[in-house]
Each structure stands twice: as structure tokens, then as C-alpha cells.
Amino acid sequence: MLDFSETFGAQVIDNFVEEYLNGRTPNPCVICNRKIKWEEMIRKSTKLGADVIATGHYARVRKDAATHRYVVARGKDTHKDQSYALWGLTQDSLSKTIFPLSELTKPESRAISERFGLLTAAKGESYEICFVTDNNYERFLKHTL
């Protein structure tokens, strides 16, 4: 299990609240992806001797031949594209990331999950922000403030 710092969690939630209070619509997943998921996973995986991390995002990472920079691009399943939430990842993070689902559609990955008897094969879709599980931002903001 990863050791998530309270500081990282506070960064994500505090930014979410601040952005809403300033009349903007935040995307906390961008900050969470960079600070909590990638930076922490890479730190931990490096300690374990791993060269790369793999996530279940429907996106691609490639190295641009002209600029020699890593680029996040859409995965095969354009209906489930998650590249938009990964724009904040660093070059270092992208260089150490693979997306095994990038060449699959959601139905194809579900079929593979079913074939292997994985519990997530029948898991429902999730579109809400993980810390606002009922999708009620107004309730969350009132409770947080």
C-alpha cells in the first residue's frame, strides 16, 4: 500500500474548495494524478527496483521524435479517453509510465477481466470525484467549510 501524505490530500481538496469559491470549476484529478498517484507510485516503485509503473488509464504515452519529449495522447477507446486528466504529468513521470489498456476498448478490457475472473469485471462506471462520492458538490463544500 502506498503511503499517501496528508499534505498531498490537503493539496487536492484545498485546491478544489478554493477554485469553487473563486468561481472556477476545478479538476482535482489533475493534481491528484501528478502529486499522489504518479509521484508517490514512482517513488515507491523505484525503491522496489521497478523501471516503470502501469496504470489502467485509457491513454497513450509516446516520445515525440522531433522534440524528444514525452506526449500524452488518446487511447484507442475515444469514448473512454482519459488523456485530458494526465496533462500535468512531468516528463520524468511519463518516461516511467506504461498504459496497458491504451490499445483496448472498455468492452475488450471488460471481456479480458471476465475471462480471468477479476472482481472489477462487473464494476460500475465511476464519473464522480473520489472524495465527493455522492457527486453533491454543494453538500461537500458546506461540510468542508
- Locate the DSSP E strands across the chain: 53-54, 59-63, 70-74, 97-98
Q: Compute CA 6 distance to the chain's CA centroid, rounded to the nearest angstrom.
A: 18
Rounded to an integer, what distance in angstroms lies between the CA atom of residue 96 and that of residue 70?
Answer: 10
Return the biggest CA–CA distance within the chain: 49
63, 66, 104, 64: which is closest to 82 by C-alpha?
104
Q: Which amino acid is at 19?
A: E
Active site residues: 32, 130
